[in-house]
Copies of this chain bind each other. A is one copy, B any other.
Amino acid sequence: MNAPTDRMASALLLPQPYVLFLGDTTVRGYAKTAFGLRDWAPEKCVGELRLPGATVTAGLDAVTAAEARARGARALVIGVANQGGVIPASWRVSLIEALEAGLDLIAGMHMRLSDIPELVEAARRLGRQLIDVRVPPRQIPVGTGRKRSGKRLLTVGTDCALGKKYTALALFRAFERRGIAADFRASGQTGIMIAGGGIPMDAVVSDFEAGAAELLSPDADADHWDIIEGQGALTHPAYAAVSLGLLHGSQPDVFVVCHEPGRTEMLGMPGFPVTSVEEITELTTRLGRRTNPAIRCGGYAFNTAAMTDDAAAELMAKESRRLGLPVADPMRGGPAFEALVASCLSAD
């Protein structure tokens, strides 16, 4: 969340601040990227741009492209997805107007900006960039396993889509509040837009997966922390390759296991139970030791959004006693979360 530094030179860097493009969207669920940016990087958003017919808002000032530029925006971020991840023809006039107003375009959808000839032509004519954050940097080196300076924390999980990004962001904020030098290192598209840089780890060719993770969290000062957004799960039948490459290349000193109580089956993976937090803790320690023999679990981040306050507090207290480490919901904060932060920072 800091301004991109030289240390990120090899990873993707995004022009900021942004104006959030919401298109003509009427379905809130499609605007996750816009909401993520509003929640985690409001200081980087100068306003929102909606088309006639849109009913969804991120609650920011409504602006035109020219107004956004006048407010300092350097890029328009497509903050909504459509069914199928396409960029509909009805948006194109507005996107070209944004290029003409002096804004670059940023998208993280399946359909690439650079695959739309009208946009490519306009960007070329106007000297503007089309940035698809799902495209990893070129010429990623093979991993070396070399121990890098600085400290690293990686969020891992018992499944996909249960809070690894939010946990990393909350820990990063908590570290900053304590005056600790830290960077949030994004490994997925929304995280990259929030951070203004990062590497889409799931889009990297597998031979270079660990090398990309090494690039993502480069050498740093001895007391600096990189808080790295995790991906997938080591036991995920489809995505474990991403998780293991990211673990090896991140060589974390500390990891936090993210979990959603009550989720019994992996998302979209019928027949595959969610792995237990103990199993993920043990596998992460065992496999992570390869590139950092000092790796340890700092605690557990539970996503209790679906639970009442009392039920969540009771469950987390019970699980903390059982597991012998702090268990907290980063979105709820409070003493449990402060205990988790302290545990991550404690030198064993």
A127 to B58, CA, bound (A): 54
Is A206 on the interface with B (CB-CB < 8 A)? Answer: yes
**Chain B proximity mask over A196-236: 1 for CB below 8 Å, otherwise 0:** 00000111111101110000000000000000000000110
Residue picked from A145, A211, A269, most chain B C-beta under 10 Å: A145
A242 to B245, CA, bound (A): 8
Measured in the bound complex, the distance between the Cα atoms of B241 and A242 in whole Å is: 6
In the complex, 15 of the A-B residue pairs with CB atoms within 8 angstroms, ordered by the A residue number, are A143-B237, A144-B237, A144-B238, A144-B269, A145-B271, A201-B206, A202-B206, A205-B205, A206-B245, A210-B241, A234-B244, A240-B244, A240-B245, A240-B290, A241-B242
For A144, the chain B residues whose CB sits under 8 A away are: 237-238, 269
A30 within 8 A of B: no
A248 an interface residue at 8 Å Cβ cutoff?
yes
- Whether A206 and B241, one on each chain, are in contact in the complex, defined by CB atoms closer than 8 angstroms, is yes
CA distance A145 to B145 in the complex (A): 30
Contact yes or no, A272 B145, CB < 8 A: yes
A202: chain B residues within 8 A (beta carbon): 205-207
* Chain B neighbourhood of A205, CB < 8 A: 202-206
**Complex CA distance for A139 and B209, rounded to whole angstroms:** 20
> Are A238 and B206 neighbours in the complex by a CB distance under 8 Å?
no
Is A291 located at the chain interface by the 8 A CB criterion? yes
Known: A207-B239, A210-B237. 15 other contacts (CB 8 A): A143-B238, A144-B269, A202-B206, A204-B206, A205-B206, A206-B242, A234-B244, A237-B248, A237-B290, A238-B248, A240-B287, A241-B244, A241-B245, A283-B286, A283-B287
Closest 4 CB pairs of A and B: A145-B237, A241-B245, A143-B238, A209-B241
